[in-house]
Amino acid sequence: MESLPASFIGMGLAATGLGGAGIGLGYMFGKAIEAFARQPSAEGQLSKYVWIGAAFVEAIALYGLVLAFIIMGKG
Amino acid sequence: MNFSFVAEAYAETAQTVATTAPKMDPLHHFQVINYLKITPFGFDMSISNSVLWMWIVVGVVYGLFRLAMRNPTLVPGRLQSVAEAGYLFVQGMIHDIIGPSGKKFFPAIFTLFFFVLFSNWTGLIPGSFTVTSQLIVTGTLALIIFALSIVLGAYHHGWKFLGFFVPHGLPPALLPLMVPIEIISFLARPVSLSVRLFANMTAGHTVLGVLFFFTATLTWAVAWLPFGFTVVFTAMEIFIGFIQAYIFTILTCVYINDSIHMH
Amino acid sequence: MIASAYASAGASVEHAAASSGLPQFESSVFGSQIFWTVVSFALLMMLLNKYVLPTIGNILDSRSNRIAEDLQKAEHARKEGERLLTNYQGQMVAARQVAAQTLEEARQDSLRMRDQALVELNQEMAKKKNAALVEIEQAKNRAMEEVRTVAVELSMQVAEKLIAKSLTAEDANLMVQEALSQINENQTRLH
């Protein structure tokens, strides 16, 4: 297989990792909102962890992005 | 299989695009440019835009703190309150995670937090350079932290620190499986630590670059849309810059704590 | 070969690096950045540690000292207040006791006085009664004496009259009647 088109395919595949992060973020904020609805007084404490968690999940997606860039460099 | 026709077509298009239209190049501003080559004895200490902005970050952090504390009063003014809040924030983080034995790491962790934070933030100034978007910079910081955690573990526990890789209450039959996993996850720490920060900064600035490209090249009738997004995204980046600095610091605390107290 | 065609297209747009991946992965600039990262970090840490952190730490310490001092003072004042309150309450209790005692004494006094007055009254009454009884006795005696005198007189008169003239039975009867009525008259006069 020629390397350039293959690298484009690879980059696209690497970007699919974003889907997982999207699912994760959705779960997390959904659960967080559920928790806040049940226990509004805990919002202050919990939202801190929500944002930290969001940053972690987002970083997972960005690993895919970095992979895509690496493939781009090799192409 | 021969995909050459695709590539050829692409190359042709690229050529025409390159010659006729402005080229989108959102990665351009990550380019490190050496201003001054200094290589005494083959040791590279050239001054580049990245290095320049490191100095600016150092100057900004130090200058702001000096300005805030230029005549400290018992009842603080605004800037002094902010400086104290930062101090207490880092102190609280260390106290929560490491406990009282984390006190001697306070200057290092304080510096780390504000260095990363202001690197993230100064990078948002148009025309500036984001130091933390360089993998090698975050990688250097992460490796220093990693080395520190190993040294601390060896110092506090000696050979027993190798027990770090053996999870508690595990049936011995699973050890050959679990120990390599633990070792790999331990070795992955500096990688994930550095890549998380670098990738966040790179991705955010790339998105901003793309949006600004559209803003600059499209007609005004549609350019307001990407421009509005740049505004929103800049705010988002300010937030992410803080969160990532916080996470970088908090994970540093966690790693140091693991080394001191094991688990 | 195709890639090189693309590369040449890219190269014509002045940034060769852009077409070969992220600029961050270009290892030619790693050395200086590692060096300067370490140096910058160490410099910043040294500067902050020397000129900034002690200042903030001192001001925070002095503030917390001040607050602790103030708290201590407040605690002191509270204790003093409590002591005064206890003192005052003690005094109040003592005063109340004194008042109650005085009241009780007064009550006892008045009771005693009343009893005494009662006793005196009784005595007086008894004395008066006795005196009255004595007087009655005397009066009775005097009356008896008088009756006797009258009876003697009467009998003497009767005897005189008997002696003076012989009497018929009718006359005697009349005379007795007369005498009796006289006695009766005397008696009614006595009483």
Question: Is pLDDT at C75 greater than 60 in this prediction?
Answer: yes
A23 inside domain:
yes
Mean pLDDT of the B38-60 span: 87
Cβ within 8 Å, pair C22-A69: yes
CB < 8 Å to B25, chain C: 13, 15, 18
A33 inside domain:
yes
Could you tell me which chains touch chain B, where touching means 3 or more CB pairs under 8 A?
A: A, C
Tally B–C CB contacts below 8 A.
157
Virtual CA dihedral for B146, B148, B150, B156, nearest 10 degrees? Answer: -150
Question: Is pLDDT at B142 greater than 70 in this prediction?
Answer: yes
- Pairwise CA distance, residues C80 & C78, whole Å: 5
Number of domains in chain A: 1
Number of domains in chain B: 1
pLDDT digits (tens, 9 = 90+) for B78-93: 888 999 999 999 999 9
B8 inside domain:
no
The pLDDT > 70 percentage for chain C reads: 85
Residue with tokens 């050979």: B159
Residue B6 pLDDT grade (very low, low, confident, very high; cuts 50, 70, 90): low
CB contact, 8 Å: C41 with chain B?
yes
Cβ within 8 Å, pair A4-C22: no
pLDDT score, position C45: 93
Residue C31 pLDDT grade (very low, low, confident, very high; cuts 50, 70, 90): confident
The residues that bridge with B36 in the sheet, in sequence order, are B47
Complex ipTM, two decimals? Answer: 0.83
Task: Give me chain C's average pLDDT, please.
Answer: 83
pLDDT score, position B69: 86
The shortest C-alpha distance from A34 to chain C (Å) reads 40
A6 inside domain:
no
Lowest-confidence pick of A6-10, A58-62, B25-29, C6-10:
C6-10
pLDDT score, position C190: 65
pLDDT score, position B263: 65
Interface of C with A in 93-122 (CB under 8 A): none
Question: Range of A58's domain?
Answer: 19-74
A37 inside domain:
yes
Of the partner residues C3, C21, C25, the one whose CB lies closest to the CB of residue A4: C3
pLDDT score, position B210: 87
- Pairwise CA distance, residues C60 & B80, whole Å: 11
Higher-confidence position of B6 and A22:
A22
Question: Range of B194's domain?
Answer: 26-261
Cβ within 8 Å, pair C20-A73: yes
Mean pLDDT of the B48-69 span: 92
A25 inside domain:
yes
Higher-confidence position of B18 and B261:
B261
Question: Is pLDDT at C1 greater than 60 in this prediction?
Answer: no
Of the partner residues A1, A56, A62, the one whose CB lies closest to the CB of residue B1: A1
Tally A–B CB contacts below 8 A.
50
CB < 8 Å to A64, chain B: none
The shortest C-alpha distance from A20 to chain B (Å) reads 16
User: How many beta carbons lie within 10 A of that of residue B86, not counting itself?
Assistant: 18
pLDDT digits (tens, 9 = 90+) for C88-114: 999 999 999 999 999 999 999 999 999
Question: Is pLDDT at B234 greater than 70 in this prediction?
Answer: yes
Of the partner residues A5, A51, A63, the one whose CB lies closest to the CB of residue B7: A5
Cβ within 8 Å, pair C21-A69: yes
| CATH number, domain containing residue A40 | 1.20.20.10
CA distances from B79 to B71, B84, B89 (A): 11, 9, 15
Cβ within 8 Å, pair C40-B72: no
- Pairwise CA distance, residues C52 & C63, whole Å: 17
CB contact, 8 Å: C20 with chain A?
yes
Could you tell me which chains touch chain C, where touching means 3 or more CB pairs under 8 A?
A: A, B
Q: Over chain A (75 residues), what is each successive 10-residue block's mean pLDDT?
A: 79 87 92 91 84 86 83 74
A30 inside domain:
yes
pLDDT digits (tens, 9 = 90+) for C134-180: 999 999 999 989 888 888 888 888 887 777 666 667 777 887 888 88
Tokens representing C8 are 């040449």
Count how many residues are written for chain C.
191
The residues that bridge with C148 in the sheet, in sequence order, are none
pLDDT digits (tens, 9 = 90+) for B154-193: 888 888 888 888 877 778 888 888 888 888 988 999 999 9
